Amino acid sequence: MTRVAFVAHHERPEASALAAETIAWLRRQGHDAWLGSADAMALELPELVGERALANADLVVTLGGDGTMLRAVRLLDGAAVPLLGVNLGVLGYLTEIDPPQLTDALARFAAGPDAGLWTLDARMMLSITASGSVRGTWRALNEVVVEKHESGHTVALHARIDGAPFTTYAADGLIVATPTGSTAYSLSARGPVVSPGHRALLLTPVSPHMLFDRSLVLDPDEEVAIEVLGHRRCELAVDGQLVATLSSQDVVTCRAAAEQAYFVRLGPHHFHQILKAKFGLTDR
């Protein structure tokens, strides 16, 4: 018996029907399947509620897009449960299949990696710690952002790498991204595109008002600390979710997490071809 938990986008009408149909199919096959309580209530499917944590599942299926995948990673809180992403929106970097392929994919997963011909794609995550007036710890699959609180002003952010001062940025913010996150906010800030199989920390300034405006690609064993200087407050966001407001002398420290995220791949996964399709690149 395979235990399968579902995480679904609350505003995609097809997510509700797909969750109900697939959970019913899994139960007929003798498997255990459920929706988290918040998702079940949002989709008006109370009969599918499971009170167990996602960490108790053998597989987490996400119904939505890359944002739903990020939410599932956050809910897993570091648990090494593989995820299978079903794309209900535009082409994403993280999702693996479209809805018509779902039951076949689940049958293949239940058969095991050898008989089912699937593999796991391990992705680096970040461990983030805030100290000072704000204290907390988080994990990120894509990025952590320290960014200005008010429009119309830059902020002063002092960056240290492995404890050694690097420089103070006058910018709208600083992004520390993983290779997976290199195609998210970091890309829009002109950061490098890095194949997600790599392990690295990407330090990218947002709209820097200074001569040095380049990204840094750092070793995964290096640690980045960002200190807020001056009187202007900053926002701390982890994978697009605002988690804290920072004040002067607050420090955010980023390092490679001990935990990884795992995605089920049912065939060759060519990151560069997804990138090509997203940007409409031609062969010549």
**Could you list the mean pLDDT of each consecutive 10-residue stretch along the chain, which spans 284 residues?**
95 93 96 94 92 93 96 96 93 90 97 96 98 96 96 94 98 98 96 96 97 96 97 96 97 98 91 86 87
Catalytic residue among 66, 121, 239, 250: 66
In a domain, 21, yes or no: yes
**pTM (2 d.p.):** 0.94
Sheet holding 241-246, edge to edge: 216-218, 201-206, 173-177, 143-148, 234-238, 241-246
Judgement on whether residues 172 and 110 belong to the same structural domain of the protein: no
Q: How many domains does the chain have?
A: 2
Judgement on whether residues 159 and 78 belong to the same structural domain of the protein: no
Judgement on whether residues 192 and 245 belong to the same structural domain of the protein: yes
Structure tokens at 36: 């988290």
Judgement on whether residues 182 and 78 belong to the same structural domain of the protein: no
pLDDT at 69: 96
Q: Is 224 exposed, middle or buried (CB count within 10 Å of its CB: 0-12, 13-18, 19+)? A: buried
In a domain, 113, yes or no: yes
pLDDT at 277: 84
Residue 216 pairs in a beta bridge with: 203
In a domain, 284, yes or no: no
Judgement on whether residues 253 and 274 belong to the same structural domain of the protein: no
66 as an active site residue: the answer is yes
In a domain, 203, yes or no: yes
Angle between helices 13-28 and 102-111 (to 10 degrees): 40
pLDDT at 271: 86
In a domain, 114, yes or no: yes
pLDDT at 18: 97
Judgement on whether residues 196 and 251 belong to the same structural domain of the protein: yes
Helix (H) or strand (E) holding 277: helix 271-279
CB neighbours (10 Å) of residue 260? 16
Residue 193 has phi, psi (to 5 degrees) of -90, 125
Residue 150 neighbours by CB under 8 Å, 6+ apart: 232, 233
Residue 143 neighbours by CB under 8 Å, 6+ apart: 126, 175, 176, 177, 178, 181, 184, 185, 186, 238, 239
Judgement on whether residues 254 and 182 belong to the same structural domain of the protein: yes
Q: Identify the sign of the CA torsion 181, 112, 38, 74.
A: negative
Q: Write down the H helix ranges in 56-206.
A: 66-76, 102-111, 113-116, 185-188
Judgement on whether residues 114 and 171 belong to the same structural domain of the protein: no
What's 15's domain CATH number? Answer: 3.40.50.10330
Task: Tell me how far apart the alpha carbons of residues 284 and 158 are, in angstroms, rounded to a whole number.
Answer: 43
Judgement on whether residues 140 and 112 belong to the same structural domain of the protein: no
Structure tokens at 84: 């299978």
pLDDT at 255: 98
Could you tell me the residue range of the domain that residue 230 belongs to? 125-258
Judgement on whether residues 98 and 129 belong to the same structural domain of the protein: no
